[in-house]
A and B are shown apart, each in its own frame.
Chain A
């Protein structure tokens, strides 16, 4: 019996010690999990924030490119304007307005039309033949 009592004390003590160890262990594990979760959340938040700033930066960049695009389009329109073409034709190409315009009347009789059609079909045939020739044949 005495032995039983003797045993009972260390067991209770053991149980008490285990209990007292379990709670801090749970607390430490919970703390670890919470820390990990927080760290994960922080990492994710930071990544999202960085990506967000990247998106904003890229959006700004896109807007700037679109702006430059539009400015370039206007520049093209300005270069195609009548004023600029006239100025360039006169100063760079030494051109001048025509002093006289000559109209050349072209009589298109039925015969000429047929003839020109025949000529154009011959030209087409020649062109086709040319396309079919090998490079060697072409170089002859």
Chain B
């Protein structure tokens, strides 16, 4: 009996101990799972649930024939959380032969001891990434990243523009069409295991990334390359500070090539340095200059259209022309009668002033504005300048300006304005809106851009007459000397310009901007080209510096565009 009681006592004691223990456990569980529920569940969520941004692929920019100018390609970049690496030297030793970097270099990156992703090597080529994968390393991981690539190199760099480190367009087409090109990144919110992989059975929220659209430009890579080569050559040859060439299709306003020097190099490691920032701008649309004698084309177009002058209208050149309180003189004066055609051929400032004053300020400036000067052309490129135009209806204008503006002094224009205006002058008189984007394709739509007529500026007849006068400028042979812009076998037209650069003291500086604006072939122009060379030291003249560049490009353009020669030249070519 006593033994039985003792057993019962033992049983009850054990039962009580176990029950108490279980109760403690239950209370503890209750405390953790019910009372502290929100705290621990949020902690767990933070640990296991992670939202990952899935980057969208930035769209591609093509040239007019579908050749890739800029595109984004995914690469795998190698990262490490450096404060979690137990033996950085061992890891560096393993990675060194695969990454092609010295152990010291890699070890230095791994020694940062950061609790954040540290880049070990960016944009690994596929072979390198595969080789690293085969090493089965736990301390490093891959992160897919997009890199902007330029298969044609840095051609049309300032037209295309720069993409920032966060994959956003900063300048040029990249910035102007950033909303089209950038796309929309997606995201994945999922529960992850210890290896950071998604847990298959767990719920997840996935939003698909939408890749950026593509843009096709009117730029032709062949013409662009040709233009850039010749511009580079000319800037070097004439020891110039820089230059710009724009080639436009006069019938449509499509830009076939646009190049500036200095320019940017997409592979420049210091591309984002402050010293490179001035080169980001596209001088062809943002830099205004006093055009000088090439502006006589506009003056003559206005004079002919108002019928104030004809090609044969003559005046007596006395060596100077007094008007509005000032006196106009030529650089090289030939005294005696001078027709308007000769004004263009000899690039006579007096003749141009004669024409502008004969038609009057109201008519002259009406045409200058109708040709698009003093206002942006509306081309889809960033930072376009309207130029500077003072007229008799604005302030700060003097009557003498009517005479000087006629030969391109006291007025500032941009290269794109000049090319657009000259295109209108020789294409039948129609001012076309210049454009550089031909097509935009996104997931939702396909937008095609067509030539846009702005207005009829001069009559087709005036345009034809002016075209003929400009052909005579290039084809004039004086003293057995052929003009340097002349392209053998073809009729081309154009006009040189040698613009003095104004300073606060006036036009005393010897520095000039040499230019030539021309078109070809004369009977049905396929291109209008402006060549502008800034501050050439070897020679200041447009005829010496810019005309040969025009000729060199035009010759190859005719072949490329399959334009047959105007006359049989096979005998001369000799074979």
Q: Which residues of A contact B (CB under 8 A)?
A: 45, 48-49, 51-53, 55-56, 63-64, 66-68, 70-71, 73-74, 77-78, 80-83, 100-105
A-side contacts of B97, CB under 8 Å: none
Contacts A66-B74, A74-B71, A77-B151: A82 and B221 contacting too (C-beta < 8 A)? yes
Stretch at the interface among B282-290, B331-339, B563-571: B563-571
The reply to whether A53 and B200 form a contact with Cβ atoms under 8 Å apart is: yes
Interface residues on chain B, number (Cβ under 8 Å): 33
- Give CA–CA (A128, B198) in the complex, Å: 64
B-side contacts of A68, CB under 8 Å: 126
Which residue of A51, A67, A104 is within 8 Å of B126 (Cβ)?
A67
Chain A residue with Cβ nearest B198: A56
Closest CB of chain A to B146's CB: distance in Å?
9
Q: List 27 A-B contacts (CB under 8 A).
A: A45-B201, A49-B201, A51-B200, A52-B199, A52-B201, A55-B200, A56-B197, A63-B74, A63-B144, A64-B129, A67-B126, A70-B74, A71-B73, A71-B75, A74-B68, A74-B71, A74-B149, A77-B68, A77-B151, A80-B151, A83-B152, A83-B153, A100-B573, A100-B574, A102-B575, A105-B568, A105-B570
Which residue of A53, A73, A101, A104 is within 8 Å of B197 (Cβ)?
A53
- Give CA–CA (A71, B129) in the complex, Å: 13
Closest CB of chain A to B291's CB: distance in Å?
32
Which residue of A48, A64, A102, A103 is within 8 Å of B200 (Cβ)?
A48
The reply to whether B151 and A103 form a contact with Cβ atoms under 8 Å apart is: no
Closest CB of chain A to B446's CB: distance in Å?
21
- Give CA–CA (A68, B129) in the complex, Å: 11
The reply to whether B198 and A52 form a contact with Cβ atoms under 8 Å apart is: yes
- Give CA–CA (A104, B564) in the complex, Å: 10
- Give CA–CA (A53, B73) in the complex, Å: 27
Given contacts A45-B201, A104-B570, A105-B568, 11 further A-B contacts (CB under 8 A): A56-B198, A63-B74, A63-B144, A66-B74, A73-B73, A74-B73, A74-B151, A77-B68, A101-B573, A102-B570, A103-B569
Q: Which residues from 529 to 575 on chain B have a C-beta closer than 8 Å to any C-beta of chain A?
A: 559, 564-565, 568-570, 573-575
B174 touches A (CB below 8 Å)? no
B-side contacts of A101, CB under 8 Å: 559, 573
B447 touches A (CB below 8 Å)? no
- Give CA–CA (A75, B365) in the complex, Å: 53
* Residue of B74, B197, B201, B559 with most chain A CB atoms under a 10 A cut-off: B74
A-side contacts of B153, CB under 8 Å: 81, 83
Chain B residue with Cβ nearest A84: B151
A-side contacts of B73, CB under 8 Å: 67, 70-71, 73-74
B-side contacts of A78, CB under 8 Å: 151
- Give CA–CA (A110, B197) in the complex, Å: 76
B-side contacts of A56, CB under 8 Å: 197-198, 200
The reply to whether A102 and B221 form a contact with Cβ atoms under 8 Å apart is: no
Closest CB of chain A to B561's CB: distance in Å?
13
- Give CA–CA (A21, B575) in the complex, Å: 117
B-side contacts of A67, CB under 8 Å: 73-76, 126, 144
Q: Mark B63-90, 1 if CB is under 8 A from A, else 0.
A: 0000110010111100000000000000
The reply to whether B489 and A103 form a contact with Cβ atoms under 8 Å apart is: yes
Closest CB of chain B to A116's CB: distance in Å?
20
- Give CA–CA (A64, B71) in the complex, Å: 18
Chain B residue with Cβ nearest A57: B197
A-side contacts of B200, CB under 8 Å: 48-49, 51-53, 55-56
Closest CB of chain B to A102's CB: distance in Å?
5
Chain B residue with Cβ nearest A103: B565
B222 touches A (CB below 8 Å)? yes
- Give CA–CA (A64, B67) in the complex, Å: 25
Closest CB of chain A to B536's CB: distance in Å?
25
B225 touches A (CB below 8 Å)? yes
Which residue of B75, B201, B222, B559 is within 8 Å of A82 (Cβ)?
B222
Q: Which residues from 211 to 260 on chain B have a C-beta closer than 8 Å to any C-beta of chain A?
A: 221-222, 225
B-side contacts of A49, CB under 8 Å: 199-201
The reply to whether B151 and A81 form a contact with Cβ atoms under 8 Å apart is: yes
Closest CB of chain A to B191's CB: distance in Å?
11
Closest CB of chain B to A67's CB: distance in Å?
4
The reply to whether B67 and A77 form a contact with Cβ atoms under 8 Å apart is: yes
The reply to whether A82 and B573 form a contact with Cβ atoms under 8 Å apart is: no
Q: Which 4 A-B pairs give the minimum distances between C-beta atoms? A: A52-B200, A77-B151, A67-B74, A77-B68
Q: Which residues from 263 to 289 on chain B have a C-beta closer than 8 Å to any C-beta of chain A?
A: none
B-side contacts of A45, CB under 8 Å: 201
Which residue of A51, A73, A74, A103 is within 8 Å of B573 (Cβ)?
A103
B-side contacts of A70, CB under 8 Å: 73-74
Closest CB of chain B to A21's CB: distance in Å?
26
A-side contacts of B125, CB under 8 Å: 71
B-side contacts of A63, CB under 8 Å: 74, 144
Closest CB of chain B to A51's CB: distance in Å?
7
Closest CB of chain A to B54's CB: distance in Å?
10
Closest CB of chain A to B328's CB: distance in Å?
44
Closest CB of chain A to B78's CB: distance in Å?
14
Q: Mark B512-528, 1 if CB is under 8 A from A, else 0.
A: 00000000000000000
Contacts A67-B126, A77-B67, A81-B151: A102 and B573 contacting too (C-beta < 8 A)? yes
A-side contacts of B71, CB under 8 Å: 74, 77
Chain B residue with Cβ nearest A44: B201
- Give CA–CA (A67, B67) in the complex, Å: 20
- Give CA–CA (A81, B68) in the complex, Å: 9
B-side contacts of A71, CB under 8 Å: 73-75, 125-126
Closest CB of chain A to B480's CB: distance in Å?
23
Closest CB of chain B to A112's CB: distance in Å?
18
A-side contacts of B559, CB under 8 Å: 101
- Give CA–CA (A101, B222) in the complex, Å: 18
Closest CB of chain A to B144's CB: distance in Å?
7
Chain A residue with Cβ nearest B74: A67
